[in-house]
Structure 1
Amino acid sequence: MKKLILSFAILISGACMFASCNLISSAGFNSKGLPTPDVNNNERSSDEQAKLDHGIWDELLKKHVDDAGMVDYKGFQNDRKKLNEYLNLLSDQKLDDSWSTDEVLAYYINLYNAYTVDLILRNYPVKSIKDINGAWTSEFVMIGDTEISLGGIENSLLRKMNEPRIHFAINCASISCPKLLNEAYTAEKIEEQLEKVTKEFVNSEKNEIAGSSVKLSSIFDWYKGDFTEKGKSLIDYVNMYSETKIESGASISYKEYNWNLNEAK
């Protein structure tokens, strides 16, 4: 009987560890009526005046994030008033069909990144975002009258827009994450920005790419389906951005994810 209980405990422990590693990719599956225009079915640019000025966030990012994407969280703490002003600006918005696809996309990416910084600051000092209870499942982000989690923003809003490059634009405050871009995303520049961060991430040390074998970031494992739509293989997708071209039959493995805080030293 004791052996049976021990075996069951080990099984549960292993399942919990697996779930923890995949928490980002599974948290949040309810869009709560918020708009998720498909980038493939909508105009990707608009000549209309932007609905929202992300200037405050742009200023904070330029001041507290270096070119490698490392974050000065103590500096952000000192600028807490400005960050709160931006968070309130984001939360006061009422998104509707008058927003262009690019405006919605830029809004959700900035929303995710700004509230992730806010989450770290509210729990600072912290070694890892995974040490924060409910980091991706707690509904602490406000959009108008709607409460939503970081996992909800990613999985129920951004991923529904069918733009796989968002995975290289949102930042989960960890070393292995795509770097936090030190400028705000805007509707006017988002195509250029998404191309930039995707190419930089694919060719960074977060992947090990050779012609006959690749060791990719776990992001490509967790969200494989997002990168392999329309008959593309994962290698096809990576080859669109990789400076080293991968052979079609190359072996693929995935790197261990470093969840330590992406804090500038």
Structure 2
Amino acid sequence: MKITLALLTFLFAHLVFSQAGVSHKSYDELLQKYVDEKGMVDYKGLKGDRPKLKSYLSILETNPPQNNWTRDQKLAYWINAYNAYTLELILEHYPVESIKDIGSTIKIPFVSTAWDIKFINIGDEEYDLNNIEHGIIRKEFDEPRIHFALVCAAVSCPKLQRRAYVPEKLDDQLAKATTEFLANPEKNEFKNANQATLSKLFNWYGGDFKKNSTLIEFINQYAPIKLSKNAEIEWKDYNWALNEQQ
């Protein structure tokens, strides 16, 4: 078999591309255009730019993570995928008052929710949002801060950041997302060192925060007020209204 210069160029380009991961530039541009500083989304405007979102999703679909990608390349990919596909799901059903209104008309808890709709095709696999969050991200990455990066389109969720997650800045981006979430009094209230009313995310995913420390030890790394080890913690009601700009 004769190996031509064109074939060698293609193979080299493919190797470099696979090692570099994928570009999240177009998604980053959408976030800056349609997400405000509070993380609220202009869904009406984004719906008009939906072809650009679909083009980005096509990049994800045809370029799944490879074994030779770094950990941060893979994690940034899956965080962006979760958030971008959540936006696509909302746009598919927009206007909608809450993501919880999406799903089967016959509501079966933990079976027929918006997170169980298999509308994601990446590589040769079909996924739903639960598959990405629980089957991939939480299963394969020991990183509790992902809970402040994954945004399920609700008011009480962490804010959708205005920049895409990228491997070269991932640690700083996750720290920023966690710090901002804990500092937001609408989502977490620190009355003093002995009392706090926290987001139910810390209750729902408590085990993720206790793998390497106690929950309070984790929180104290990012919280505006350091809690005592015996602090009294209550849980805030969760607002599932759509995170839409008004």
Same topology, TM > 0.5 = yes
Q: Unmatched 5+ residue regions in structure 2?
A: 1-17, 104-112
Q: CA deviation at 1:84?
A: 0.7
Q: Once superposed, what is the RMSD of the aligned Cα atoms?
A: 1.1
Alignment of 1:73 onto 2:43: yes
Q: Find out whether 1:151 has 2:133 as its counterpart.
A: no
Residue in 2 that maps onto 1:237:
218
For 2:40 and 2:20, how far apart are their aligned partners in 1?
A: 29
In structure 1, give the amino acid aligned to 2:32: K
CA contact (8 A) 1:50 1:187 kept: no
Match of 1:60 in 2: 30
Cα separation, 2, equivalents of 1:172 and 1:257: 12
User: Does residue 194 of structure 1 match 2:174?
Assistant: yes
Residue 164 of structure 2 aligns with an amino acid whose one-letter code is: A
SS in structure 1 at match of 2:44: helix
> 1:49 deviation in Å?
5.9
Q: Deviations over 1:30-67 (max 9, x none)?
A: xxxxxxxxxxxxxxxxxx96221100000000000001
- Structure 1 segments, 4+ long, off by >4 Å, are none
1:126 and 2:119 matched: no
Distance (Å, rounded) in 1 between the aligned partners of 2:180 and 2:58: 31
* Residue number among 170, 175, 199 corresponding to 1:217 in the alignment: 199
Distance in structure 1 (CA, Å) of the matches to 2:45 and 2:143? 32
Amino acid at match of 1:83: L
Distance 2:237 2:156 in 1: 9
Q: In structure 2, give the amino acid aligned to 1:239.
A: N
Contact 1:57 1:83 in 2 (8 A): yes
TM-aligned CA deviation for residue 170 of structure 1:
0.7
Q: Please name the residue that 1:246 is paired with.
A: 227
State the shift of 1:208 in Å.
0.8
1:142 aligns to 2:142 (yes or no) = no
Residue 103 of structure 1: how far off its partner (Å): 0.4
Q: How many residues align?
A: 217
Distance in 1, Cα, partners of 2:69 & 2:222: 30
Matched to 1:236, the amino acid is E
Whether the 8 Å contact between 2:120 and 2:128 is mirrored in structure 1 is yes
Per the TM alignment, residue 138 of structure 1 is displaced from its structure 2 partner at its CA by 1.4
Counterpart contact for 2:19–2:68, Cα < 8 Å = no
Look up the match of 1:99.
69
CA contact (8 A) 2:27 2:56 kept: yes
Distance 2:207 2:116 in 1: 22
Percent sequence identity over aligned pairs: 50
Q: Note the C-alpha offset of 1:142.
A: 1.2
Alpha carbons 2:198, 2:233 under 8 Å: kept: yes
1:252 Cα offset (Å): 1.1
Partner of 1:179: 159
Rounded to whole Å, the distance in 2 between the matches of 1:94 and 1:235 is 36
How many angstroms apart in 1 are the aligned matches of 2:75 and 2:60? Answer: 13
Gaps of 5+ in 1: 1-47
> For 1:247 and 1:94, how far apart are their aligned partners in 2?
44
What is aligned with 1:165?
145
- Give the partner amino acid of 1:242: A
> Superposition pairs for residues 17-32 of structure 1, below 5 Å?
none
SS at match of 2:167: coil
Deviation at 1:253, TM superposition (A): 1.1
